[in-house]
Structure 1
Amino acid sequence: YLICALIRSPLGFYLSAVICCLTACSIPTIMAAAAGDYVGPRLAPAGLGFVTIFFGIGQALGPAVGGYLADTTRSFFIPFLLASAVSLAGMVSSLYLRKPSTVA
């Protein structure tokens, strides 16, 4: 998102799309593995469901909020900047997760 916000040309869009295509499919796999690591195999489906709720909320509200901001500001800069900030907040928040317990 930050690439689209900062490089305001078709190059920025294409570069962002390529990076997204190369990395987007890894997110569900990582979340499924992390759910198993953090809550154990018995509760992994519930943990993944909990995470999926937030994915769904973001996918439902993101386009509406982004569209409203784009219409209001007549630019995609603010929506892409907001998406970058939310992504950064998620990344920083993940640094505070406890270490998953290891099974010996």
Structure 2
Amino acid sequence: MSLPLPAPLSLLWTCEGGRALERAVHVRLAAYRTRGEWFDLTALGDPVDAVRAAVKAVHADARAAARSAKRAAARREQLDADPERREGRVRQARPRGDHPVAVVPRERR
């Protein structure tokens, strides 16, 4: 790598991942961006630990999003399996105050 830098550049750490991971880490560390691809992570202590923690957090966010999508798909399957709900009839809702509530679902988009 040949860049006009005032000091030598050393590779300190690598990890598996692609552009999506790099972009997510950049978003997570945006408050420390100095210019373009460069960050000043001294406020976070060891820069390798800071990047490692950001990568770990990005992976945790991705796992949580996957779990949420899986739960949503399971709920859709459950709703689709119920004939009354599948046909767009009335679904139950929590009563508000003293008034019972019945909700007619909107058309699916």
TM-score by length of 2: 0.33
Using the size of structure 1 for normalisation, the TM-score is: 0.34
Q: Which has the higher strand share?
A: 2
**The structure with more helix, counted as a fraction of residues:** 1
